[in-house]
Amino acid sequence: MCAQHGANVGVNYLHSDSAAEELRERFPKNVELLRFDVGNYEQAKLGILRFIRRYRTLDALVNNAGIVRPHLAISQQHLTRANEEFRVNTFGVMCCTQAVLPCMVKNGCGIIINVSSCAVTQPVPGQASYAASKAAVEAYTRAIAVEYARKGVRCVCIRLGPVNTDMLRETVGDVGTTTIMPQRTLVNRLTAPSEIAEIVRALIVGPIGLATGSTLDFTSGYSLGKEVK
């Protein structure tokens, strides 16, 4: 969405080669592909510095990488799976944030947008570590805002409901994606990725300068815990 409006966008990916190449073909002048593991600080730092060296600045960071492992009851959960969720969902946010802060502080401006989940307030059975990893992201958002607001850096978090993505389909299956999850929202449908892109763009370029340290709810009413029939 930002590239469509002429912004230079660094797109990080790890496995989705074809999707990344398709994006670069659509916006060859605006998209820089950055392939690194967000949970590895050295990789994140090198990848982000590569973007900064090319474009000489970095105005916004969107931390949207996330994973959810197969559902397991807390008593049966292997801590290695929980560790992987925290490594990507939480530590990944910390790694990328630390990598961009020097540039933003130097320029005296910037915004960091973190992505959370309705699982923080309404966890489903089997998603304890995923919910906890996203709750940590919301807390980290507030901490960044407190430390860097006076240096011109804003940080906000967007809490999302069910979004029509491959990860959702892999997690809840076809029936869950087409029937169950939409019914749990007040609007009776999944959110489209393009709608999230519009929200992100509005936070970056729109007149929302006072939004920092906030977690903004975009769950389509999922957080109200009702079904509309």
Residues with catalytic function: 130
Q: Which H or E element spans position 101? A: helix 91-107
DSSP string, 144-199: HHHHHGGGTEEEEEEEE--B-SHHHHHHHHHHIIIIIHHHTSTTSSPBPHHHHHHH
Tokens of 48: 């982000």
The CA-CA-CA angle for residues 109, 217, 130, to 5°, reads 95
Residue 124 CA to residue 220 CA, distance in Å, equals 17
Q: Which H or E element spans position 83? A: helix 79-89
The CA-CA-CA angle for residues 229, 123, 135, to 5°, reads 130
